[in-house]
Amino acid sequence: MRVARLRRALTFYAQFVFAVLVPAGKVGSFDGEVTALFEGVRAKVNAVLGQQFNFKSLPEEKLIVRGKKVIAAGPTISICASDCVLTEALKGDAGIAKLNMAYERADKLLEKQKLQWKKKGGEGGVLLLSAQVAGGLARVPDLVAQLQSGGDDAKAEAAAALQSLAISADNKVAIAKVEGALAALVALLGKGSAVGKADAAGALLNLAGNADNRVAIAKVKGALAALVALLREGNAVGKGKAAGALRNLAVNADNKVAIVKVKGALAGLVALLREGSALGKENAAGALSSLAINADNQAAIAKVEGALAALVALLGKGSALGKEDAAAALRNLAINADNEVAIAKEKGALAGLVALLSKGSVLGKEAAAGALFNLAINADNKVAIVKVKGALAALVALLREGSAVGKELAAAALRNLSVNADNKVAIAKEKGALAGLVALLSKGSVLGKANAAGAVKSLSRNKETKDSLLQFGCPASALV
């Protein structure tokens, strides 16, 4: 929302942010109520402003602004409500960035609409971005034509509009079906202004949230190469959005292979991981995580100079989402036997995973437990992990109080660690470990029960531990 007031022939702006909480699944159905709410706010604020400022009482010379005479009786405000959905994932630097994007979308729309309001007397009004987006699909053919033949500013404006429209799941499908839309966005990636390239990448990022679009975008000639070029040579915003687009595209199995074949793709992601913005680092780590599901890519990523070190650095000092993505990437890379060794040798890797395991978000804890589970397949790592201060305590805490997936992975990690004879004793001595495994054995998910059963059976090879398990109510049939 912007408030303008006249003083010494200058215009000043005050900016405010409001949050309107709408029940999940009801976004868009409350447009009338939200509009009425803000119309009420606008009317009351305008009434107060009118009492405090009366332009007609000002001297003639003070009514000249930028060479034009002010014809309004007094100041007025206008409001544009964006469509940002508040979730747990919006915490931290990434959350601030997403909220800022929502504000910028609303602010741009408001600036355009103010020109129309001025023509009608300058009274201002209320806009809802969701309503503008809902009716915006009819503009897509014109926007595509603008992308194809407009000037740099016009192309950037069209890409920004498509980026906003493509937030909606239905719109992702509709836009991709418009002839020439994807090709025009890809062309802008290569030849547009810095802003145009970034918004084109943002549009492709949003469109690639759809499974069919991931295939279609990758088939556009030069699409992956253009994204990689922007990843390496664009401005900070462009690099972050290019990494985000590659991240979404890499969900597709064929794209995992195709992206890595583009010269400079992996090196570009690793460079962004080291030197990018918070959002850029998150998207780079997320892209590497998706790419690392492919076995050949696991080896290729680890061979990129500084890749593992950059992931470990993000694991320690990144945003909450960055830490989650870094741990997920390390988890996937650790499926490779050689990487199990290399990751564990990376300074701070095991300690970083344990720290995330104890203090991270729900997804962060799950990813860290998954990484430790994979790393613990290696015999030397079994010893090294248990030596990290707080490792067993953090796994046991997740086993007892974590999400269903967290409990499954904690039990799996303990199962792998328990193959080592000394670890059998250490795990049994950890407060709550045996009781937690027995509880999961009876009340966990199918996978949780299976992992707990494996851990219990392995631990029961120690006579004292076996007796303790029986005391905690473990069925004798589950023991060796």
> Are 368 and 443 part of one and the same domain?
yes
Helix (H) or strand (E) holding 317: helix 307-317
**What is the DSSP code string of 49-109?**
HHHH--GGGS-GGGGEETTEE---SS--EEEEE--PPP-GGG-HHHHHHHHHHHHHHHHHH
- pLDDT for the residue 9: 32
CA distance 306 to 311: 9
Residue 340 lies in a domain: no
Residue 54 lies in a domain: yes
Give the position of tokens 């009317």. Answer: 43
Q: Which tens digits make up the pLDDT trace of 301-322? A: 999 999 999 999 999 999 999 9
Q: Which tens digits make up the pLDDT trace of 200-238? A: 999 999 999 999 999 999 999 999 999 999 999 999 999
* 1 secondary structure, DSSP code: -
CA distance 310 to 322: 11
- pLDDT for the residue 91: 53
- pLDDT for the residue 130: 53
Give the pLDDT band (50/70/90) at residue 4: very low
- For residue 250, give the 3-state DSSP assignment: coil
> Are 435 and 478 part of one and the same domain?
yes
Measured in whole angstroms, how far is the alpha carbon of residue 310 from the centre of its chain? 19
Residue 431 lies in a domain: yes
As a whole-number percent, the residues of the chain with pLDDT over 90 amount to 66
Domain total in the chain: 3
Residue 376 lies in a domain: yes
CA distance 345 to 308: 10
Residue 396 has pLDDT above 90, yes or no: yes
Q: Which CA distances in Å does 41 have to 35, 37, 77, 112, 113?
A: 10, 6, 10, 21, 19
Backbone angles phi, psi at 3, to 5 degrees: -120, 125
Is pTM beyond 0.85? Reply is no
Nearest to 367 by CA among 333, 401, 342: 333
CA distance 326 to 289: 8
- pLDDT for the residue 44: 76
> Are 357 and 453 part of one and the same domain?
yes
> Are 121 and 79 part of one and the same domain?
yes
Confirm if 103 and 96 have CB atoms less than 8 A apart.
no
Q: Which CA distances in Å does 411 have to 54, 81, 94, 395, 427?
A: 71, 46, 31, 8, 11
Confirm if 50 and 73 have CB atoms less than 8 A apart.
yes
Looking at residue 363, which CATH number applies to its domain?
A: 1.25.10.10
Q: Which domain holds residue 97?
A: 2-133
> Are 372 and 440 part of one and the same domain?
yes
> Are 128 and 162 part of one and the same domain?
no
Residue 10 lies in a domain: yes
- Structure tokens belonging to residue 81: 């409500």
Cross-strand partners of 180? none
Residue 20 lies in a domain: yes
> Are 393 and 409 part of one and the same domain?
yes
- pLDDT for the residue 214: 97
> Are 82 and 123 part of one and the same domain?
yes
**Of 74, 98, 133, at which residue does a domain stop?**
133
> Are 101 and 191 part of one and the same domain?
no
**Of 65, 100, 133, at which residue does a domain stop?**
133
Q: Please indicate whether residue 168 or residue 223 has the higher confidence score (pLDDT).
A: 223
- pLDDT for the residue 480: 86
- pLDDT for the residue 101: 62
- pLDDT for the residue 24: 47
> Are 35 and 58 part of one and the same domain?
yes
Residue 209 lies in a domain: yes
> Are 205 and 104 part of one and the same domain?
no
Q: Counting runs of H as helices and runs of E as strands, what totals does the chain give?
A: 27, 6
**Of 74, 107, 133, at which residue does a domain stop?**
133
Residue 426 has pLDDT above 60, yes or no: yes
Task: Please give the average per-residue pLDDT across 58-73, as a whole number.
Answer: 62
* 120 secondary structure, DSSP code: T
Residue 277 lies in a domain: no
Q: Please indicate whether residue 185 or residue 12 has the higher confidence score (pLDDT).
A: 185
Measured in whole angstroms, how far is the alpha carbon of residue 273 from the centre of its chain? 15
CB burial string 353-373: b at 16+ within 10 A, e below = bbbbbbebbebbbbbbbbbbb
* 478 secondary structure, DSSP code: G
Lowest average pLDDT, out of 91-95, 299-303, 325-329, 470-474, goes to 91-95
Q: Please indicate whether residue 119 or residue 368 has the higher confidence score (pLDDT).
A: 368
> Are 204 and 94 part of one and the same domain?
no
